[in-house]
């Protein structure tokens, strides 16, 4: 199944895509959040679709597309998780996952504008596979256990300001947590619809020019291993979002370093997860 949220900021309506029909989920829940996922929301939705009790959402095609998960408790990110990206960044291949956090308030819709920070000269793009946690993971022991706790997957844009991240002291968070720096969506695609999360193509264009073209098969630490690892250090709760890293092709790794500027348009795609587009604007 594909889930989404449609409507103005703060007034999004939870929906499920029933083939070409968009159905209103409000008979089951007021939002797509951790409580919905923890309460077997996916199973209840499947049952409601089979019984034909979910109404069509009138006027859905004209509505703004919001992030498919309401404000997550946390956004956890894995850095340098593709060998080619580590190489272009001049970094050593990590021996265990590089973990950092991103302010959950950075999460916006997949077609919302990305705001270039006022002092920014190095705002960069990163297409990533996002994991959405469906049930609590605490000290996960096996890869199978970890994957069973995944609600689904989405497209994440881990926008990064490289000067803030790498040249201004401290940890990476300053370059990762600027407003609008995590467009997400358009869909939450349930895990049963993704046959193999390690066999997905990720692509990104800037102003129509190809910049990134990679595959999740090249992850250093695959999805299941990321979940097991993270759960040793933090509890992962339903609705949490995990960004799993980006392949080569970011501005930081290019000789001309063509960082984003106001007016640039970024398109992103991941196999089976849809398409997203953001325009860069001044903050």
pLDDT single digits (tens) 132-172: 999 999 999 999 999 999 999 999 999 999 999 999 987 89
CA-derived radius of gyration, the chain: 18
At residue 50, the pLDDT reads 97
pLDDT single digits (tens) 168-192: 987 899 999 999 999 999 999 999 9
Distance CA 67, CA 18 (A): 18
Distance CA 114, CA 112 (A): 7
Kindly tell me if the per-residue pLDDT of 271 is higher than 90: yes
At residue 155, the pLDDT reads 99
Distance CA 35, CA 21 (A): 25
pLDDT single digits (tens) 201-246: 999 999 999 999 999 999 999 999 999 999 999 999 999 999 999 9
Measured torsion, CA atoms of residues 114, 201, 270, 139, in degrees rounded to the nearest 10: -90
pLDDT single digits (tens) 116-130: 999 999 999 999 999
Element (H, E) at 21: strand 21-24
At residue 91, the pLDDT reads 85
At residue 108, the pLDDT reads 98
At residue 38, the pLDDT reads 97
Q: How many residues does the chain have?
A: 283
Q: What is the chain's mean pLDDT, rounded?
A: 96
pLDDT single digits (tens) 44-91: 999 999 999 999 999 998 999 999 999 899 999 999 999 889 888 888
Tokens of 42: 């996916």
């Amino acid at each position: 199944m594909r889930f989404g949220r449609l409507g103005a900021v703060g007034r999004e309506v939870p929906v499920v895509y029933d083939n070409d029909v968009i159905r209103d989920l409000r008979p089951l829940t007021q939002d797509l959040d951790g409580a919905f996922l923890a309460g077997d929301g996916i199973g209840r939705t499947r049952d409601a679709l089979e019984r034909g009790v979910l109404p069509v959402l009138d006027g859905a095609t004209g509505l703004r597309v919001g992030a498919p998960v309401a404000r997550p408790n946390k956004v956890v990110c894995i850095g340098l998780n593709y060998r080619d990206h580590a190489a272009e960044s001049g970094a050593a291949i990590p021996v265990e996952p590089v973990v950092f956090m991103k302010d959950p308030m950075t999460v916006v819709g997949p077609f919302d504008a990305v705001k270039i920070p006022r002092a920014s000269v190095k705002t960069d793009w990163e297409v990533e596979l996002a994991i959405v946690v469906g049930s609590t993971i605490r000290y996960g022991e096996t890869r199978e256990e970890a994957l069973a706790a995944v609600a689904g997957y989405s497209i994440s844009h881990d926008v990064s300001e490289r000067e803030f991240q790498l040249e201004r002291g401290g940890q990476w968070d300053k370059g990762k947590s600027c407003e609008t720096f995590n467009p997400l969506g358009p869909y939450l695609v349930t895990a049963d619809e993704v046959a193999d999360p390690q066999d997905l193509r990720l692509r990104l264009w800037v102003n129509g020019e190809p910049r990134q073209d990679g595959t999740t098969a090249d992850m250093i630490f695959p999805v299941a291993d990321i979940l097991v690892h993270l759960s040793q250090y933090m509890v992962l709760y339903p609705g949490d979002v995990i960004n799993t890293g980006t392949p080569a092709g970011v501005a930081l790794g290019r000789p001309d370093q063509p960082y984003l500027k106001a007016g640039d348009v970024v398109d992103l795609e991941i196999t089976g997860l849809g398409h997203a587009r953001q325009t860069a604007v001044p903050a």
